[in-house]
């Protein structure tokens, strides 16, 4: 007799366990409304895709803050990349970055006008482009958080070819959490920390923000049960009046993080103040290429007068969304004049941007 083949249920998506966790969350709902902020487009996608907001008590609101690297890349850096491309360099970057509106044009529009702009999947792909085009200047426009910065550091430390340059616009997550806690008038009750960033920097990286601002920080993975469990830990901390760093993703994250990746980062970069689009300057939140590696730094190799960028398109609420003070549906342009095919602001461009995610999953706040 032919035996029926059944896939074992994936426990981290087990509906029965999710319902049990949702019951637990409801039983331990806080007496007053609380706002929990995550800073991760992957979290937002998991929350929307699996309808997790519909499982939360009505007192608990979960919002995405500045968790989309494309969304927070400032126009001054984007405009620099456009000028380098228009000036004859080959500019390599990630796909979403080519569609973000700059002061005048996007990188994709510059390409349509004849500039050489190429989409790559990694810094090492851009090095390959440089090796194959020894007669051209090749600039890697490097964006992203602690998850992507080690890849850029690795190529910088591996003697890249002389025609390769990095336009660095990397950002750090812990200073962003600090900055969010300083923004009035919204009171953030707790943070969910991004699991993938935390594999690099370790759970300990959030301790200072938790202690200084008396705010719980729970490291969360990306499966539905990971996120519900992390929210349960947040509610337990709030109920008990604690403000600690807890790791709800121990199968991937430990206290110290990836020490080899951290060593690469500190060999290639040093922290600096950085502008976050829609938010402004956050102290110590950027990564500047160290002077020893300055010959590969596009800012030093190609001094370009920065344009006074328009950070906020008219009517766009991206800055409020990035500060977790608004949700995409608060914006009157959402799904009308602003769509993924015709984005007005950066939060609709990046696949990790809150507006883009809400658009793709129906644009309903209680998804
Ligand atoms: S819907 Fe568009 S215009 Fe409105 S906040 Fe989002 S990106 Fe900006």
Tell me the torsion sign for CA atoms 6, 10, 15, 16: positive
Whole-number pLDDT of residue 10: 63
224's tokens: 């539905």
Contact 218 CB / ligand 1 (< 6 Å): no
Contact 318 CB / ligand 1 (< 6 Å): yes
One DSSP character per residue, 65-103 reads -S--HHHHS-HHHHHHHHHHHHTT-EEEE-GGGGGS--S
User: Are 326 and 332 contacting, i.e. CB atoms less than 8 angstroms apart?
Assistant: no
Burial class (CB in 10 A: 0-12, 13-18, 19+), 218: buried
User: Which has the higher per-residue pLDDT, 38 or 184?
Assistant: 38
Contact 68 CB / ligand 1 (< 6 Å): no
Range of the domain at 215: 31-69+174-246
pLDDT at 1 over 70: no
pLDDT at 172 over 70: yes
User: Are 329 and 365 contacting, i.e. CB atoms less than 8 angstroms apart?
Assistant: yes
> Which ligand 1 atom sits nearest the alpha carbon of residue 348?
7
CA of 331 to the centre of ligand 1 (A): 6
User: Are 190 and 34 contacting, i.e. CB atoms less than 8 angstroms apart?
Assistant: yes
Contact 331 CB / ligand 1 (< 6 Å): yes
Q: Which strands make up the sheet holding 34-38, listed edge to edge? A: 60-64, 34-38, 190-194, 217-220, 245-247
Whether 351 is covered by a domain: the verdict is: no
Whether 240 is covered by a domain: the verdict is: yes
> Which ligand 1 atom sits nearest the alpha carbon of residue 320?
5
Whether 275 is covered by a domain: the verdict is: no
Burial class (CB in 10 A: 0-12, 13-18, 19+), 292: exposed
Instruction: Name the residue with the closest Cα to ligand 1, atom 7.
Output: 345
3-state secondary structure of 354: helix
Q: Which of 90, 49, 46, 93 is CA-nearest to residue 69?
A: 93
Whether 308 is covered by a domain: the verdict is: no
Residue with tokens 């328009």, as numbered in its chain:
310
127's tokens: 């090095």
Partnered with residue 177 across adjacent β-strands are: none
Q: How far is CA 305 from CA 168, 215, 278, 300, 308, in A?
A: 16, 41, 21, 12, 9
- Round to whole Å and give the CA distance between 308 and 314: 16
Phi, psi of 70 (to 5 degrees): -65, -40
CA of 116 to the centre of ligand 1 (A): 29
Confidence of residue 156 (pLDDT cuts 50, 70, 90): very high
Whole-number pLDDT of residue 309: 58
Whether 133 is covered by a domain: the verdict is: no
Mutate to test the pocket of ligand 1, among 317, 342, 358 (most ligand atoms within 8 A of CB): 317
Whether 201 is covered by a domain: the verdict is: yes
- Per the rule left: phi > 0, alpha: psi between -120 and 50, beta: everything else, 338 is beta
List, for residues 212-234, the tens digit of each pLDDT value: 999 999 999 999 999 999 999 99
> Which ligand 1 atom sits nearest the alpha carbon of residue 332?
4
> Which ligand 1 atom sits nearest the alpha carbon of residue 343?
2
Q: What is the 3-state secondary structure (H, E, C) of 100-136?
A: CCCCCCCHHHHHHCCCEEEECCCHHHHHHHHHHCCCC
CA of 357 to the centre of ligand 1 (A): 12
Count: domains in the chain: 1
CA of 328 to the centre of ligand 1 (A): 7
Whether 56 is covered by a domain: the verdict is: yes
CA of 344 to the centre of ligand 1 (A): 6
CATH number of the domain at 56, please: 3.40.50.11750
One DSSP character per residue, 208-231 reads HHHHHHT--EEEE-SSHHHHHHHH
Whether 291 is covered by a domain: the verdict is: no
CA of 274 to the centre of ligand 1 (A): 23
pLDDT at 7 over 60: no
Mutate to test the pocket of ligand 1, among 66, 71, 327, 348 (most ligand atoms within 8 A of CB): 348
Contact 349 CB / ligand 1 (< 6 Å): no
Enter the DSSP assignment of 183. Answer: S
List, for residues 324-341, the tens digit of each pLDDT value: 999 999 999 999 999 999
Q: How many CB atoms lie within 10 A of CB 175?
A: 20
Whole-number pLDDT of residue 276: 94
> Which ligand 1 atom sits nearest the alpha carbon of residue 317?
5
Instruction: Name the residue with the closest Cα to ligand 1, atom 1.
Output: 334
Confidence of residue 15 (pLDDT cuts 50, 70, 90): confident
User: Which has the higher per-residue pLDDT, 110 or 2?
Assistant: 110
């Amino acid at each position: 007799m032919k035996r029926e083949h059944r896939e074992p249920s994936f426990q981290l998506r087990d509906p029965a366990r999710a319902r049990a966790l949702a019951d637990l969350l409801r039983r331990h709902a806080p007496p007053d409304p609380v706002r929990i902020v995550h800073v991760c487009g992957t979290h937002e996608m998991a929350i929307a895709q699996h309808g997790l907001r519909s499982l939360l008590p009505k007192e608990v609101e979960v919002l995405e803050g500045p968790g989309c690297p494309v969304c927070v890349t400032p126009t001054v850096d984007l405009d620099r990349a456009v000028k380098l491309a228009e000036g004859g360099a080959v500019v390599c970057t990630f796909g979403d970055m080519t569609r973000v509106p700059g002061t005048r044009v996007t990188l994709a529009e510059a390409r349509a006008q004849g500039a050489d702009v190429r989409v790559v999947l990694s810094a090492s792909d851009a090095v390959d482009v440089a090796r194959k085009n020894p007669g051209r200047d090749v600039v890697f426009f490097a964006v992203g958080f602690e998850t992507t910065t080690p890849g850029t550091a690795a190529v910088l430390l591996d003697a890249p070819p002389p025609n390769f340059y990095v336009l660095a616009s990397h950002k750090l997550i812990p200073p962003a959490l600090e900055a969010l806690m300083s923004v009035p008038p919204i009171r953030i009750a707790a943070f969910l920390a991004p699991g993938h960033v935390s594999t690099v920097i370790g759970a300990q990286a959030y301790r200072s923000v938790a202690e200084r601002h008396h705010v719980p920080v729970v490291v969360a993975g990306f499966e539905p049960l990971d996120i519900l469990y992390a929210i349960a830990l947040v509610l337990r901390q709030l109920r008990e009046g604690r403000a600690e760093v807890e790791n709800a993703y121990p199968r991937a994250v430990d206290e110290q993080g990836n020490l080899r990746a951290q060593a690469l980062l500190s060999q290639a970069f040093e922290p600096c103040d950085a502008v976050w689009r829609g938010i402004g300057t956050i102290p110590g939140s950027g990564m500047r290429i160290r002077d020893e590696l300055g010959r590969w730094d596009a800012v030093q190799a190609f001094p370009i007068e920065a344009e006074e960028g328009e950070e906020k398109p008219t009517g766009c609420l991206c800055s409020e969304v990035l500060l977790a003070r608004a949700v995409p549906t608060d914006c009157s342009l959402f799904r009308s004049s602003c769509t993924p095919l015709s984005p007005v602001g950066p939060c609709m461009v990046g696949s990790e941007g809150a507006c883009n995610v809400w658009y793709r999953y129906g644009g309903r706040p209680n998804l």
